[in-house]
Structure 1
Amino acid sequence: MRFLDEITLDDGRVRLEPLGHEHAEDLACAAASLKPLWYTFVPAADAVPAEIDSRIALRDSGMMNPFAVRRLSTGEVVGMTTYCNIDQPNRRVEIGYTWIGASAQGSEVNPAMKRLLLAHAFDECDAIAVSLLTHFHNRHSRAAIERLGAKLDGILRNHRIMPDGSLRDTAAYSILPNEWPAVRNGLDARLA
């Protein structure tokens, strides 16, 4: 399989569905539940349709495979995630551009979502590396990535220009195939 293949992933807790405009209303509610933070991006509720358009355009150009995240216990779509920075010839991919609404934070949603994406990348797409990047100052995201068992590859200084013009230092993490069994066991234990 390829990272760009249109797929639905489901573990009984969350379903990752190909992102579409049918998800906009739930996503707008989820986005409105979040307090804006200077070091991360979540679209404003009224900007959700444009964000969906942007992610679909990136999918169509071969750069991203975007998903809506549905929490099955409530049936609500509570966020977005993607395979991005896809390098199919080298079997490398990043999991990123992820956000979930306040009602799903600290729940089973994030570990279940990561478990599905990582399993698909390693077990179905034969990935040689899965990356996870975040703003250096996003301590919450960095802690969540480290809880997965991802290893810090380094800090990419002045990696991106933020919408406000500030420069972002990016903490770059990855998981390799030989690390996947331990990461999988850790996620399975968290979800048990």
Structure 2
Amino acid sequence: MSAPDFDCQPYLCASTLSLKPLADSDFEGMFQAAADPDIWGGHPARDRYKREVFEAYFASLLATKKALTVIDIASGDIVGTSSYYTPPDLPNSIAIGFTFLVRAKWGGNSNRELKQLMLEHAFTAYDIVYFHIATTNIRSQTATMKLGAVHLYDAELKISAAPALAKCYGLTHAQWKASRG
């Protein structure tokens, strides 16, 4: 099932995080969250913590009109971002990616809560959600499998600036329900 009118920038809220459409006014808070070099350690863009590099990245996210700002409800601080996007090799599908969270949100429930919000929204319109992760990003691969997603294939895909090898995962609605059981 596909949904051409799917809202890629919904307002979503859980117990500790809320999501809203990414806006120009989010830049300073988003950069403050992204300015930690350790966030980008396993990522292909290891220098994204630098302001000039992050500015270009932020502009590209903003231009997609599909990116979300992740906000910690208790503090009101921006703690990351994530996006819906159309997989280049599966044009009638939906994927979740371009996600980062501040290190204070690693290892706890935050990534699962973020993905839960996004998955529940995606499953209102799609039967399967995809994730494309750099082969070097073991932390994200592990987190994605903890959601119940399974590795489907590896492919060279142009998801951002240049084609790159990605591990492609899929999570069906049934797998998601079973992983929460």
- Cα distance change of structure 1 residues 5 and 79 upon mapping to structure 2, 3 Å threshold: closer
Distance across 2 between alignment mates of 1:51 and 1:168: 17
Between the two proteins, what is the percent identity of the paired residues?
24
Q: Which residue of 2 aligns with 1:107?
A: 108
- Cα distance change of structure 1 residues 38 and 178 upon mapping to structure 2, 3 Å threshold: closer
Distance across 1 between alignment mates of 2:21 and 2:33: 17
Q: Describe the superposition over 1:102-138 as per-residue Cα deviations: whole angstroms up to 9, x where unpaired.
A: 222223221100000000011x32x021001101121
- Alignment map for 1:85-100 (pairs within 5 Å): 85=86, 90=92, 92-100=93-101
Deviation at 1:173, TM superposition (A): 0.3
Q: TM-score, normalised by structure 2?
A: 0.82
- Look up the equivalent residue of 2:78 and give its one-letter code: V
Distance across 1 between alignment mates of 2:33 and 2:42: 18
Distance across 2 between alignment mates of 1:137 and 1:114: 21
- Look up the equivalent residue of 1:40 and give its one-letter code: P
Aligned CA RMSD, in angstroms, stands at: 2.8
Instruction: Answer yes or no: is the 8 Å Cα contact 2:19–2:71 preserved in 1.
Output: yes
Deviation at 1:76, TM superposition (A): 0.9
Instruction: Answer yes or no: is the 8 Å Cα contact 2:71–2:80 preserved in 1.
Output: yes
Q: 1:33 aligns with which of 17, 31, 36?
A: 36
User: How many aligned positions are there?
Assistant: 174
Greater mean deviation of Cα atoms: 33-42 or 133-142: 33-42
Distance across 2 between alignment mates of 1:182 and 1:130: 15
Instruction: Answer yes or no: is the 8 Å Cα contact 1:21–1:49 preserved in 2.
Output: no
Q: Are 2:117 and 1:116 equivalent residues in the alignment? A: yes
Q: Are 2:172 and 1:176 equivalent residues in the alignment? A: yes
Distance across 2 between alignment mates of 1:12 and 1:100: 16
